[in-house]
Amino acid sequence: MPFQNTLSFARELDRIDPLQKFRDRFYFPQLNGKNVIYFTGNSLGLQPKNAKDFVDEVMEDWKNLAVEGHFHSKKPWWDYHERLAKPLAKIIGAKPGEVSVMNTLTVNLHLLMVSFYRPSKKRYKILCEEKAFPSDQYMLQSQVRFHGFDPKDAIVEVAKRPGQHHWHTNDIIEKINELGDELALVMLGGVNYYNGQVFDMKAITGAGKSVDAMVGWDLAHAAGNIELKLHDWNCDFAAWCSYKYMNSGPGNASGIFIHEKHLGQDNIPRFEGWWGTSKETRFLMKQEFEPIATADAWQLSNPPVLALAPYLASLELFEEVGMEALIEKREKIVSYLEFILHEIDSEVDSSFEIITPAERGCQLSVLLHGEGRSLFEYLMANGVITDWREPNVIRLAPAPFYCSFEDMYNFGQVLKRGILGRT
């Protein structure tokens, strides 16, 4: 179906969209009594309307049962986190036993590095992408220093080719093979936060394993956005936040994946705590740690149930829809947004450059040649919630759960007015 830059065409796409009904199951910020056009699900997803019910249930159990809620509430708190494992496993392509939920993203990456970054005098280097998300950079640098190495030597960054805005998989694989037996860990973001590029995780993981390196992924911008097959790809570990495409609420709990080949081991290096020990003997208060035979062995403390409740609410929606349907709509709505951008570019005296490559998920990063932050401020003031990155990039992420094709058309009209009205 050839796209058209008309309101009637956008509304027709919404009419035949099988996921359109889910838009009404989220709360939108309002401007002048109307829903905003929301492009920042890659930073914080909208609130599902069922989230409050899940939280209220916990609050009621706390009020009525107090400590007995751990075992006698409708969803007992002591194993509340286990309810998230099965739906999450479907989203990330794992077995339920390979998944757990705990802490927050960078905390979990640090804990996973304890197990999977075990440098030796010869094999100590970490491969990551150039200008990874700052928190990942800080985490890797501090881990390297903790082990007595110099980050400038131990951390190897794969750069983009001169004049290009994306990475080439061959360049990453060549660097892996070049490092060979010096390489201890490959650690990248599955989807780059800045340009929206989806890395070829299957190929990169295979290359890392071929030189006997560990391979881990930060899936902050990937989980709930793209197809993942972490188990089949033989990834060693991964972690992700839950508040972006998975709509769990600000700063909420992180998920982890640990391949089953690393599970059930008593001697694996790991920081350990009470909630990672065997459920059968946990309340015997034994001195010896008996690791649970799943990724839960990496848990330290009892789960933050009030935080997990809205996450479970959102996962209920994922279970109802399924990643296949979300990805199908994502492909269509992002393509329509791309079409709208090119149409507006042809109508105004400006120049947009989409720096996101064909390997993409929900996000399009747009370099606005000749435009500055004032255009971003105009968009925000006119009901388009988007994201600005210096020097002149806006990130647009039309999440398929709640963004509409009409949103894409209306955004184009606001963008055109913003440029023409300021020139």
Q: Which pLDDT score is estimated for 334?
A: 98
CB atoms within 10 A of CB 358: 7
| Structural domains of the chain in order of their starting residue, each with its CATH number | 7-35+323-420 (3.90.1150.10), 53-321 (3.40.640.10)
What sign results for the dihedral spanned by CA atoms 20, 21, 26, 31? Answer: positive
List pLDDT tens digits, range 274-312.
999 999 998 899 999 999 999 999 999 999 999 999 999
Which residues are CB-neighbours of 337 under 8 A, at least 6 positions away?
A: 364, 396, 398, 408, 411
pLDDT of 422 over the 60 cut: no
The b/e string for 82-106 (b: 16+ C-beta within 10 A; e otherwise) is bbbbebbbbbbbbbbbbbbbbbbbb
pLDDT of 423 over the 80 cut: no
Q: What percent helix, strand, coil does the chain show, rounded to 5?
A: 45, 15, 40
Written as six digits, the tokens of 337 are 């947004």
Written as six digits, the tokens of 34 are 């109307």
Of the chain, the percentage scoring pLDDT greater than 70 comes to 100
pLDDT of 47 over the 60 cut: yes
Of the chain, the percentage scoring pLDDT greater than 90 comes to 92
- Using CA atoms, how far residue 328 sits from 20, 172, 226, 233, 399, in Å, is 13, 28, 10, 22, 12
List pLDDT tens digits, range 49-108.
999 999 999 999 999 999 999 999 999 999 999 999 999 999 999 999 999 999 999 999
Instruction: Concatenate the DSSP letters of all residues of 106-134 into one string.
Output: HHHHHHHHHHH----SSS-EEEEETT--H
* Backbone φ and ψ of 153, nearest 5°: -95, -40
CB atoms within 10 A of CB 127: 24
pLDDT of 197 over the 60 cut: yes
Q: Higher confidence at residue 355 or residue 368?
A: 355
